Amino acid sequence: MFVTFNTFIKALYDERCSNTIVSAIYRADGGFKAFKRNYIKCYGFSEYLAHIRGTKLTAIQTYHVAKMFIVYGKRPAADIPAILGSLIRQYEIDVPAVYGILAKEYWLARFDSPIYE
């Protein structure tokens, strides 16, 4: 089942915060934002990608995966086709049959704005 990266990280955070001592430590250290930043630094996206292995993505889900790499992975939109190609091969993830979805122009048109720079 597909979940966004943020939902995946939030579930891990909530699971760990079920212990009151751990919860207090995380809150003192900056809460969820600090947890997510440190998680990405230590684990990257590998656990999340393993979680969505074998998923047949919709167009909006593919957008969420691309946005994850752009926002959290600091990758340019032009790299998304190569990243999606790797995900297709390594994680058996299917992307929808959308015209141009594996072309850099497709992703530049969606993410080439000041919000993502």
Residue pair 93/54 in contact by the 8 Å Cβ criterion:
yes
> What is the tens place of the pLDDT at every residue in 34-52?
999 999 999 999 999 999 9
When the pLDDT of each residue in the chain is averaged and rounded to a whole number, the result is: 91
The DSSP result for 40-80, as a single string, is HHHHTTHHHHHHTTT-B--HHHHHHHHHHHHHTS---GGGH
> What is the tens place of the pLDDT at every residue in 104-117?
999 999 987 655 55
Give me the half-sphere count of Cα atoms (radius 13 Å) on the Cβ side of residue 12. Answer: 18
Q: Is the pTM of this model over 0.75?
A: yes
Give 94's DSSP letter. Answer: B
What are the b/e assignments for 56-85, b being 16+ CB within 10 Å? ebeeebbbbbbbbbbebeebebeebbebbe
> How many Cβ atoms sit within 10 Å of the Cβ of residue 98?
11
